[in-house]
Each structure stands twice: as C-alpha cells, then as structure tokens.
Structure 1
Amino acid sequence: MKTETLQGIGLNDDQIRSVMAEFGNEINPLKQAKAIAEQERDSLKTQLDEVNGQLKEAQKKAEKGSDLQNQLKDLQKQFDESKANAEKQLQATKKDYEISAALSQAGAKNEKAVKALLDTEKVNFDDNGKLIGLSEQLEAVKKDNDFLFAETKDSGAGKPNITPAGNPNPNGGNGTKALADYSYQELSALKADSPSQYQALVGGDK
C-alpha cells in the first residue's frame, strides 16, 4: 500500500497515517518472520557449501588405498548428514512461517496461544508445496475458542457492510468503524459504489 494510492482516493495526511499505521501492524510481523526464515536458510546454505568444498577437495587428492580414501568417506558421510539436517530445518522453518501467516490471516490475537492448541506434527506440505492439515484444525480451534480471534474484515459474504464514522449502525447498534479499520480495497469499493457514504466516512474521521 502506497501513500500516493491513498491520496488518489481523497484521504488527507492524518487519515493516510492512520491507515498506514494499521496496515503496518498487520504486515510487520510477517515481514519479520520472513526475514528470520531467510537468515536461517542462508546460514544453512553456507554450512553446506563449506562441507561440499571440503568434499570436492578431498576427491581431487584421494588415491585408492590411501588414508585420503577414508577421509573422503568420512566427508561424504558428513555432507550427507549435513544436507539431510539442513533440509529438515528448512522445512521446519518454512512450515512455521506458513502457519504464522495463516494464523495472522485468521485473525489470531495471540499466535502462541492458538498454536499451542494445534497439532503441528500433523501439518505438512503436499507435492505442490501447499500446506495441508492446518485449515481443519484451525476451524475447530476457532469454533471452540472464538475469544482468541479478532473478527476479520473479509469474514462477511459479498461487499463489506460499511457504516460511515459518526453514523449509527444500520442494524440498530451504536457501534462505529474507524477509517483505519478499512482495507484499501474496501475504501475503493465504497468510493465507487457509494460516494456519499465515502465522503461521510472521510469527513467524520478527521
């Protein structure tokens, strides 16, 4: 989401800062998790490259029946073990990142609390690299522990039911929704489909 985009739909600076702050709260944890995963990936790749370099060097010097032949076997074994461990750790890191992203998308208020209710051993990747075994568990946890989840903006069917700030709830309640609670797509849809409501929202959130 860019400042220029929000300016293009008529928001002022204060409203843009409010929307960007809310957007940052949602996206920053995912960026951090991705950065950690990339660091672990690079570290494991470096280790593999070092062992592989030693293996190739020993292969060049190895002579049948010499001590180097034994060294070659030991290095080959070390390389195979390091490669297997690296692949296992990378899969675990990738799975943890994907689970965190799914929990964030589901509106989990406390990721650790929700994850503790999941059996992550049953969560794996299919042949296409798609996460399986999570959605069913997550639905069950959400059903029994709805207090652990915030209401997601895309939980309703069709277009969002938007109430301009300062106006009563159309269902009879007194709740209002701040500008920062809307996604860019919702704001764009509101401006296109109901300009009067959009203006009321923008004007009432100053």
Structure 2
Amino acid sequence: MNTETLQGIGLNDEQIRSVMAEYGKEINPLKQAQANAEQERDSLKSQLEDVNGQLSEAQKNSKKGSELQGQLKDLQKQFDDSKAKAEEQLQATKKDYEIAAALSKAGAKNDKAVKALLDTEKVNFDDDGKLIGLSEQLEAVKQDNDFLFADENESNTKPTITSKGNPNPDGGNGNKALADYSYQELVALKTDNPTQYQTLVEGDK
C-alpha cells in the first residue's frame, strides 16, 4: 500500500495520512519482527558454521592423536625388544663366564673340548642368580673323560708337554701343549696311539 494507491481510490490527503499512520502501526512491528528473525537466523547460521569448524578440527586432531598413539606403541615395542635382547646377551655373557669359571675350578685341561661335551642350553640361572644344570653334566663328563681333567694335586697351570718320538711334520720341535688338542684329536690319539696319548697326558718322565 502507498499514497498513489490511496489517491487512486479518491481519498484526500488527510484521509491518506490517517490510513498510512494506521498501516504503519500494523506493518512496522511486522518489519521489526522480520528483521529480528533474519538477524537471529544469521546468528544461528554463524554459530552452526563455528560448531562445524570445531567438529572438523576435533576430527583432525583425533586422527592425529590416533597416529601419534600408533607411533608411541611402535617406539615402545622397539624399546622393549632392544631391552630384552640386551638382557639376553648379558645373561649369555654371564653364563659363559660362569661356565668357564666352573671348568677352571674342576681342573679342565681343555675348556673348549670339555664345553663341547656339555649341553649349555640346559644350563641356566635360578632366582638367586646361581648357575644350575652344570655340576651334574660336568661330573658325568669328568667320569667318562677323566683325561680331560687334571688331578686335584696337580698344579692349575698347564705345562707345555713334548710327546716323545713325534716330530713336527712341519719341521718344528714337535712341542704341542695338551690344551692345544681338540677333543676329537685327543680321542683319535687315544685310539690310534695309546702310548703317545698316555705320555701326552702324564708328561715326559
């Protein structure tokens, strides 16, 4: 509705002003309500966009967090594996040292030969850190191969023994310490030449 429309229906200026005033009283609140509704709509739209942005960022962070957790798990596994391997190597070194000490105490003349007759896989440590599974094996080996062990009254040192009548094929002086023989060589010598074997074990008399 406008002035020209009212003039067209024959209203004078006073009547037009009166009608327009009444029309304004009705339409202005509607316009204000519409403006308020549009403002509220724009505000809600802005809030929705903000929430969507936060949700998207949260999803990204969640994915990054998941990836970070995966990396941390991988690093922890690598650390645990390295630690377990280091402890295993340390135990192996300690076991070798303890076995060597036990062989020396038992009077082994050839540690390598004696150790070859042991099942070291069955040798371990108990909860107190003491070696178990060795003494029984060592005693059995000693009973079956006493020539590999020195008598209790013998010196702990291993003298160099020269076997009689056995010149070095390379033209040397024929000196070869008992400790230089492997277990297989000693067994072969005992079988093929018992006299020389006995001389080698007891030394020149």
Report TM bin, short chain: 0.3 to 0.5
> Does 1 or 2 have the higher relative contact order (CA < 8 Å, sep 6+)?
1
Larger Rg: 2
TM-score, scaled relative to structure 2: 0.42
TM-score, scaled relative to structure 1: 0.42
